[in-house]
Amino acid sequence: MSQDVQALLWSYGYVGVCVVAGELTLRLGLSRELARKIIHVSVGFWIFGTLGLFENPALAVVPSLTAAVANWIIHRKRLLKSVEAEPGNLGTVWFPVAYSALVWLAWDKPAAAAGGVMAMAVGDALASLVGRRFGRHPYETFGGELKSLEGSLAMCAGTFAVVLATLTWMPGLAPDMPKVPLAALCAVVATCAEALGSRGRDNLWVPLAAGAVLYLVPSAHASGLGVAAVVALGIGVAAWARGSLSPSGVLGAILVGTPVFGLAGPVGAAALLGFFISSSVLSKAFRARKADVEEEYAKTGTRDLGQALANGGVAALAAVLLAVTGDARYSLAMLGALVAANADTWATELGVLSRSPPRLITTLRQVPPGTSGAVSGVGLLAATAGAAFVGLVAVLAGARWTLIPWLVLAGVAGSLVDSILGATVQDVRWCDACARETERRVHRCGRPARSLRGFSWLGNDTVNVVATAAGALLAFWA
pLDDT tens digits, 352-408: 777 888 898 988 898 887 778 889 999 999 999 999 999 999 999 999 999 999 999
* Calpha distance 107→113 (Å, rounded): 7
**Does an H or E element contain 368, and which?**
none
What pLDDT, on a 0 to 100 scale, did the predictor assign at position 289?
55
Q: Are 462 and 310 in contact (CB under 8 A)?
A: yes
If you count them, how many residues does the chain have?
A: 478
Residues 6+ away with beta carbon under 8 Å from 187: 119, 123, 155, 156, 157, 159, 160, 163, 229
Q: What is the mean pLDDT of the chain?
A: 87
Parallel, antiparallel or unpaired: strands 138-140 and 359-360: unpaired
| Cβ within 8 Å of residue 90, ≥6 positions away | 72, 75, 199, 200, 201
Cβ neighbours for 474, distance < 8 A, ≥ 6 positions apart: 336, 406, 409, 410, 413, 414
What whole-number distance in Å separates Cα of residue 403 and Cα of residue 416?
A: 20
pLDDT at 47 > cutoff 90: yes
User: What would the pLDDT profile of 115-174 be if each residue is shown by its tens digit?
Assistant: 999 999 999 888 888 888 888 888 776 666 778 888 888 999 999 999 999 999 998 888
Checking if the pLDDT of 298 tops 70, the result is: no
User: CA gyration radius for the chain?
Assistant: 25
Q: In the predicted model, is pLDDT for residue 290 greater than 60?
A: no
**What is the per-residue DSSP string for 379-393?**
HHHHHHHHHHHHHHH
> Does the pLDDT at position 261 exceed 70?
yes
How far apart are the C-alpha atoms of 255 and 209, rounded to whole Å? Answer: 13
* CA 97/CA 67 separation, integer angstroms: 9
For 73, half-sphere exposure in the C-beta direction (CA atoms, 13 angstrom radius) is: 5
List beta partners, residue 437. 430
Top pLDDT among 297 and 375 is at 375
The whole-angstrom separation of Cα 414 and Cα 277 is 20
How much helix, strand and coil, in percent to the nearest 5, is found in the chain? 70, 5, 25
Q: What is the mean pLDDT of residues 267-292?
A: 81
What is the SS3 assignment for 139? strand
Cβ–Cβ under 8 Å, residues 396 and 427: no
Query: Percent of the chain at pLDDT above 70?
Result: 91
